[in-house]
Homo-oligomer: A and B are copies of this chain.
Amino acid sequence: MLLGNTPQISRQPEWLAPRLATGEVSSEQAVERCIERFEQREKAVRAFAAFDAERALGEARARDRERASQGPRSVLHGLPFAVKDVIDTVDLPTQRNSPRYEGRRPEQDAACVRMLRQAGCVLLGKAATVEFAGIGRDSPTTNPHDPQRTPGGSSAGSAAAVAAGMAPMALGTQTGGSVIRPASFCGVAGFKPTYGRVPVQGLWLHAPSLDTVGWIAENVELLARAAEALKLGEWQAPKASSRLRIGLYRTPYWHDAEPASRSAVERAADRLAAAGHSVENVDEIPGAERLNEWQDVIMHGEARISLLADYGAGKQGLHADIIEEVEVNREITPRAMAAAYDGIGGLRPVFDQRLASYDAWLTASVPSEAALREEGDGEATFNRLFTALQLPCVTVPGLKGPAGLPIGVQLVAARFADMRVLAAARSLEKLLAES
């Protein structure tokens, strides 16, 4: 029934980024395409917290003039991008989906936004988010593949904007699964780099030891180009060989994966093997079964501290969940915090060592296809552990579940092997697109 009403979005026949790079389209034309899509889709998708078409066109024209006179700043010159609304922008308000911050205008772009604009990218709009990227008011965004389905949270607008063709790329953040999950639900490519590799100045920090800037894009190629603009290429891990060595890592949470997701992972493994890559099972790592629980303790323990100043300013305009996070906080104790930090800290080198002999591990991005919006924004079961371990993760699009909705599969690599996992993901994306 629902699916009968679904607006069909095929993968875009011609991606924007390569056409911009070759000069086939100008930055102004690229922004115009985004505006056109915005006019067609935004009413249903609600991906944006702020969108200023005239301002974006002006910035695009300036980049076009610059290209003509001085040449492009980078391969991304002129590319429009959206920014999750917990990341500061000076030209558009940054409101964090919080009534407290309505109309807030920071005095400088966040470092990650500055770096993309330094590379010539054009700020298109602010993407809708769950309040504070963590707790409180939901994003109004719907899944572009079905308005009754969740786009996933918390980088909901970032994923939906890309999936609906309203932006070729969007910045997000991940504290649990807030980049990989929405990208998977919306059928687009998403990347969460190694923790700490992208500067955090100008972000709302919700759980600072977990919060990581990530991004979502029309394809994995563009994820990698953005990684280079954000200087992740400078610490280049050994390049993936033409024959990938892939570990099939089911995680301790495989029992939570629904058939849709298990089947997606198996299909991806089959395609990789059929293309001549090595795919082998990875044995479980003792202690890994506690990672999600530890991540949860840290996330809530730190979020409470992050919210103290807003709580101290009075309860008016604070969501009930935020008040509960500060006042009750699941009764998290210092002892539990320390145990969680140390438990995760002890496993980081173990995972790194096990990952060292692989180009990447293949696992689920999400437990299932996108659920109905009233059932919440989905589970971060297959993300929490990797976020806690600080590992770079890519969700690769191209597969669908039994309900006809997109479902991503995830590649994970050792810390700092950001470019390596992106290279493996490009190979996998190609295989999934060919079939």
- Where the two chains meet, the residues of A that have a C-beta atom closer than 8 Å to any C-beta of B are 104-108, 111-112, 114-115, 118, 196-201, 204-205, 208-209, 231, 235, 237, 302, 305-306, 308-309, 312-313, 333-335, 337-338, 341-342, 345-346, 348-349, 352, 415-416
Contacts and interface: CB of A to CB of B under 8 A. Distances in A.
Contact of A415 (B309, B313, B334): B334
Given A308-B115, A309-B111, A338 B416 contact: yes
A62 to B, nearest CB: 16
A416 B334 contact: yes
A336 to B, nearest CB: 10
Contact of A118 (B114, B309, B345): B309
B208 A200 contact: yes
Contacts of A201: 204-205, 306, 309
Contact of A114 (B107, B108, B112, B313): B313
Contact of A348 (B208, B235, B313, B341): B341
A331 B342 CA distance: 29
9 contacts: A105-B107, A106-B106, A118-B312, A196-B208, A199-B305, A200-B208, A209-B209, A235-B333, A235-B334
Contacts of A208: 196, 200, 208
A112 B312 CA distance: 11
Contact of A416 (B114, B337, B349): B337
Contacts of A352: 338, 342
Given A235-B333, A341-B348, A115 B309 contact: yes
A415 B334 CA distance: 8
Given A199-B306, A334-B415, 11 more contacts: A104-B108, A114-B309, A114-B312, A115-B309, A196-B208, A196-B302, A197-B305, A199-B305, A201-B204, A334-B416, A346-B349
A107 B352 CA distance: 41
Count chain B CB atoms within 10 A of each CB in A107, A312, A352, A416 and give the residue with the most.
Answer: A312
Contact of A334 (B198, B237, B341, B348): B237
Contacts of A302: 196
